[in-house]
Every structure is written in C-alpha cells, then in structure tokens.
Amino acid sequence: MAQQVVMPKQGNSVESCIIVEWKVKLGDKVAVGDVLCSAETDKSTIDVESTAEGVVLARLFEEGADVPVMVPIAVIGEAGEKVETVAAEEPKQQEAKASEVSASVVEQAPVVATSQAIGASPRARQLSASLGIPLSAVQPTGPKGRIIERDVLSAKGQPLSPVARKQALEQGIEAPASGSGIGGRVLASDLATKPVEPAVTAPVSEEVTEIAVKGVRKVTARRMMESMHSTCQLSLHAFADARALKRLRAGFKASKPELGLQGITINDLVLFAVSRTLVQFPAFNAHFLGDKILRFAHVHLGVATDTAKGLLVPVLRNSELLSLKQLSEGTKALIGKCKAGTAQPDELTGSTFTVSNVGSFGIEAFTPVLNVPEVAILGVGTIVLKPIEDEDGDVAFVEHIGLSLTMDHQAVDGADAARFLKALMDNIASIDLLLAL
C-alpha cells in the first residue's frame, strides 16, 4: 500500500522548507533512510529521508516549492501501483497552494474562510499582536485551515501607531494598507475610513528582475522590522586601545604550529573580552520580554555571520567558561557550518548577547540592530590611528578599534550602557592581563 513521506519538522520556529533538489526520480527504488531530496529552511539546508520502503510513485512538489512542514511531498509504494496526483504547477502557484494534491493520495489543504480558521500558530499570534492585525482579518493557508506566520505577513500593510494597533486588535478592525501618517503610517483615524486606492502609474519600459523574498532573507527582513518596531534602541560609539590586541595577534601568528594558536584572530580576542565583561554586567546578558527581564547565568554569544544565503547568527554557548583557544576553535567551527549550510536549528538559537564585526570592510563605527529579545548588541569596527595626548602633553597616534553598542532603553539605562562600554574598552586595552584571570 502506498505511503506518504512528509516534510519533517525542524525545530519549533520552522514553518516551511524550500525543496532545493530532488535526489530520486519516479520509479527509483528507495529504502527507509534514503535521501529523497535536499531542502532549505530559513537557516540551513537539510536532507529529507524516506520513511517508507518501495518505489517512488509520485513527487508532489517541484524544485523551488515552499512546502509547509508535516505536508506530504512524495508517495512510496509497490511497483506498478496506481496513484493519481494533480499535475505539477509552477513554483509560484505551488507556494500559493502549498499542499494541493489528489484527495486519493494526500489530504487536501483547501483555502479556508477566515471565519472557519482552526487556530493559529504561536508565531502567527505573536506577529499578529505586534503588527496590530486581528486574526479575523487573516486568510489562513496552513495545514488544516490553520493560520501561520506567512498569512499574517501577507496581510501586513504600513506600520500602525500604538493607538491604532490597540484599537484594531480590540475591535477586530482590518487596517488599510496605507494611512495618513508620516510615510503612510496608519493612525487611529484611518481605521474608520476606506483605504485610499493606489494611483495607477504608467508601466516602466526598462527590464526589471523579480527576486522572491524567501529563506534566510525573508526571516532577516521580518526580524529586523520586528526589532525596530518593538524596541527603543540607543547606540553608543567609542574606540578602545588596540595595541595589546595587535601585539597578542602577532605573537600567536608567530607561535609554534603544534600549539594551535596561529589561527586566533582579533575578533576572537574581542569575543573573549566581551564574554568576561558580560559577567561583570549581567544586566546586558539578558532578554527583555516586555513584562519581565530574563538574566542568564551563562553567556551564550551570538556571532553575526555573513553567508551566501544571508545573515546567520550561530551561538557559542557558555563562552565565559571557554579558554581563548577553545573560544576561537568553537567560533570557527560554527561559522564553517553556517557557510556550508549545515548548521542545525539548535546552533542558531538561544543567544543572550550578539557581536557583529564588520572591521574587515574598513568600517570604523555603525549602528547594529538589536537581535530581539536580547538587551544589547555590540558592533565591532576596523582598527584606525587616533591622536592621543600623553601625560607630558605630547600627541601620538595610537591604534584603536571601533566599538558600537546598541541597547534597548526599555531594559537598561544609558549610563549603565556607558559603564559597560567603558569596562569593555578597558578589558580590550589590557586583554593580556584579562587572559591571566
């Protein structure tokens, strides 16, 4: 008897996966555990294994399709067994009808009226509350008529003012796509009026390339918007004496290979200093959840990583307990997994403080965006020469490294942030002494 193979669930935060490549063809024999296809989550690439033994009778989605988790993607059965399936659609149509297959093979996930929606995922509810979009105004497309996160995103227009958001949620009013506020912001007065129809513009004659926003890019876009809308961000900029960093880096690079220290970088030294400074300032090793703050006993450093798929943040757990060598090796292993697309969901969640280093691009200072719900994030810039006056009044140019601290003013005060940044500057300037503790 034919059996269905479903898209497996990958952690609590993954709602769908994109089929990257099929590894089997129709008629191929497979055993339990054989790889049927590779799929891309919002953070990594996974292999989808067969849960049945037999012959591939049907592939229910084409490459490029965005398939919700726990939805059938293939049918495995005996050779010659007849299976009816709906003809494959274009990838864009498949994304709109993610689980449309024949009723004799797969339980169809029909478009459900909003009033008949059966529940909503936790992520969908959280996003609905933060955007001021009542669930009654969202068209469900999830399995069995459930509202999922992308349904709420598809209903999103311009951001709502706090009063408008509260009124929309309490009264179940569907907000217009654009309001009368600055930049199209929806105000409370706009909720009772009919949305203004967009002006019709003449078609553009130039060639335009359309790029679908999905995968890591889609997740990054959503998280950045949530960060800016849900937090009160303040950034402080400073420069720390980098002479000890450069001196240690040169010594490690010239050390004997058997010591395993040649790969230690300036960034590793900064991460080490951050992990020890956070122990001194536990208020910054925390999550802000609106009605409460969670302070963590251990420092789980998030390391912002640039990959071909987009920005990923692997987590170096218990970093305050690691030696410099252990921290360096652990960071490089995580970054390598991110670039190879093999990082697991558990390795990309749970950070308590994030460091983003763009010094290699020559950037002196910048304003990093909070990785919510974290209380703060550190941006690291390049090393530049700064004029410093000594005790005798003479001016010398000394190498300094740029530091930019963004914090959530809802959770910590500016003076506390200044004290934390000053302590970090001192720890970096005397990193050789910090290593001895």
If you write DSSP's letter for every residue of 213-261 in order, what string do you get? --HHHHHHHHHHHHHHHH--EEEEEEEEE-HHHHHHHHHHHTS-GGGT-
Which residues make Cβ contacts (< 8 Å) with residue 381, sequence separation at least 6?
A: 358, 359, 363, 364, 365, 366, 401, 402, 403, 404
Q: Six-digit token pair at 103? A: 């009723």
Q: What is the pLDDT of residues 187-245, one digit of tens each?
A: 777 776 445 556 666 666 788 888 888 877 888 888 899 899 999 999 999 999 999 99
The per-residue pLDDT for 310 is 87
The per-residue pLDDT for 147 is 80
On the question of pLDDT at 110 being above 60, the answer is no
Q: Six-digit token pair at 58? A: 């049907």
Q: Return d(Cα 239, Cα 224) in angstroms, integer.
A: 26
On the question of pLDDT at 29 being above 50, the answer is yes
Confidence band (pLDDT; 50, 70, 90) for 54? very high
Q: What is the pLDDT of residues 70-107, one digit of tens each?
A: 999 999 998 888 776 544 444 444 444 444 443 343 34
% the chain with pLDDT above 90: 55
The per-residue pLDDT for 126 is 77
State which H helix or E strand residue 423 sits in: helix 414-429
Q: Return d(Cα 372, Cα 304) in angstroms, integer.
A: 13
Secondary structure (3-state) at 324: helix
Q: Return d(Cα 94, Cα 91) in angstroms, integer.
A: 5
The per-residue pLDDT for 118 is 56
Cα 389 to chain center, whole Å? 43
For 106-111, which contacts have Cβ atoms below 8 Å and span 24 or more sequence positions? 106/4, 106/60, 106/71, 106/72, 106/75, 109/71, 109/141, 109/142, 109/143, 109/144, 109/145, 110/145, 111/139, 111/141
The per-residue pLDDT for 104 is 40
Q: What is the pLDDT of residues 248-262, one digit of tens each?
A: 999 999 999 999 999
Over the chain, what is the mean pLDDT? 84
Q: What is the pLDDT of residues 298-327, one digit of tens each?
A: 999 999 999 988 899 999 999 999 999 999
